[in-house]
Amino acid sequence: MSRSKIFITLFCGALVGHTIASPLSNTESEIVQYVNEQASNQLQLLEKLVNINSGTTNPEGVQKVGDLLIPQFEALGFTTRWQPLPQNMHHAGSLIAELQSKPGPSILLIGHLDTVFPHDSHFQHFSLTSDGKWATGPGVIDDKGGLVTILYALKALKQVGALKQANIIVVITGDEEFAAKPTEISRKALVNAAQKSTIALGFEFALSPNELVIGRRGLSEWILRSSGQAQHSSTVFGPQSGFGAIYEQARVLNEIQRALSSTPGLTINPGLQLGGQTLQENAEQENGTVSGKKTIIAAQAMTRGDLRYLTNQQRDKAQQNMIAIANYALAGARSSFEFHSIIPVMEPSEANQTLLTEFNAISKSLQGPTLQAIPPEQRGGADISYVADVVAANLDGLGPWGHGAHSEQETLEVASLSIATQRATLFLLQTISKH
C-alpha cells in the first residue's frame, strides 16, 4: 500500500469531525461524504502530478501535467483543448476544459500547471510524513493542490447530478509563476474565458484555513539606467568628471527608499544591479555581465526591480515620484526610468466581498472557521488579477493550505485538501442553482 493511501485510515475520523455539520441538505451531505471517501484517490493524483517536474521553463513537463488531467475532465463531460503559445515565447500554453450545459454565462475556475522549480532543481518528489498529516513536494500547494481541488469538486458535483445544469470553464495556465510576455498573448485564453463568465474563482493556495483573497496588489517592472563619464578615479567628485554611474544609482535608490518606503501597501524592490565600464544584461535569464576597473569611474549602471501597489493611482504617483528623483542627477551623470506593467491590480470590491460572505456561510455550515479577507498587501499578483476587471465578482485562495511555497520546504496540510474541496463544491452547487 502506498503512503498516500495510509493517510485516509489515519485521518478519516478527524475529517468527519471537522466536516459533518448541520444544517446541510441531503445533497450537501452526500457531497461531504463523497469528498471524504475520495480523499485517498485525490492525494494519489496529487502525488502523480507533483512527481512530474513542471517548472515554468520546462514546457514539456508542464504539458505532461496537463495531459494527465485531460482524461479526468473529459470523463466528467468537459471538452478540452490546449491553447499553445508561439514557439518563440518558450513557455507552455493553457489547458482549457469547458462544460456548457445550457445557454448563459459561465463560472470560471482558474489554476496553473507550472511551479517555480526548474528541471534541475533538487526538489523534485512528493513525500508524505509517516503520520499522514503533511506532504511535501514541488507544487503540493502552489498549485497542484489547487488543481486536484478543482477536479474533485467537479467530480463531487457530477456525483450528485449537478453538472447537468452547469456552465463551467476551467482555465489552467502553463506559466503563472513567470508569465510569458506580452501577456496580451499569454493570457488571451484566460481573458477570453472571463468574457463569457460572471464569477471567477482562483484556486491558489490559502495562507491559513480562515483566510481568502478578495484583492491582490498589482505588479510592475522598472529599470533604472544611469550613465557617467569614464575618467580616471583620481578625479571622481571633481567638476570635470563628476560622480559616475554607480554613485548616481546609489543616490536614486536611496532617495526612493527615503521618500516612498513608508507608503502603506507600496513596495519598490531593486532585485538586480549591474555597474562598470560596460554591462550586458540577459533579462530572460535574470543575470548579466559587467567589466571595468577600480581605477576608472563607472560609465554605466542599471538596476531592475519591481513595484507592487494597491491601486493604479498609487502606482502612477509612485512612478511620477521615481522619475522626478531620477531627473535631479549628480554632476556628470544622468538617470532615466522605464516602467512595464506585468500584473494588474485585483481591487477589493463589494461583489468580491459578497462571494467571501457566501463562502463563509458554507464554512460555518461545515463547522469550519469564520473566513476573513487577507489584506491585499499580503498577496502578490496571480492569474485571477488579469480578469478582475472583466468578471463581475472574483475570489481567490480557494486551494488547500500549508506553508513554504516557492521554497524547498513547500508543505501541504493533507486534511486541508478535503476541506477546501468541500467548500468549493458546496459553493459551486449554490451558484449553479442560482443560474
With H, G, I as helix, E, B as strand and everything else as coil, classify residue 424: helix
> Residues of the chain whose pLDDT is less than 70?
1-22
With H, G, I as helix, E, B as strand and everything else as coil, classify residue 250: helix
Set of cell numbers at residue 220: 510592475
What local confidence, expressed as pLDDT, does residue 3 receive? 43
Set of cell numbers at residue 320: 511620477
What local confidence, expressed as pLDDT, does residue 284 receive? 72
Please tell me the pTM assigned to this model: 0.87
d(CA 378, CA 12): 33
What local confidence, expressed as pLDDT, does residue 12 receive? 39
Q: Quick check: 113 and 62 in contact, CB under 8 A?
A: yes
Q: Quick check: 69 and 54 in contact, CB under 8 A?
A: no
Whether the link from the prior residue into 23 is cis, omega within 30° of 0, is: yes
**Residues β-bridged to residue 232:** 296
What local confidence, expressed as pLDDT, does residue 370 receive? 96
Contacts of 35 (CB under 8 A, 6+ apart): 152, 156, 418, 421, 422, 425
What local confidence, expressed as pLDDT, does residue 16 receive? 37
What local confidence, expressed as pLDDT, does residue 359 receive? 96
d(CA 292, CA 237): 18
What local confidence, expressed as pLDDT, does residue 94 receive? 98
What local confidence, expressed as pLDDT, does residue 283 receive? 80
Sheet strands (E) in 101-166: 106-112, 127-128, 134-136
What local confidence, expressed as pLDDT, does residue 14 receive? 37
Mark out the alpha helices in 300-390 (DSSP H runs).
Answer: 312-327, 350-365
Instruction: Give the Cα-Cα-Cα angle 195, 197, 200 (nearest 5 degrees).
Output: 110
What local confidence, expressed as pLDDT, does residue 11 receive? 37
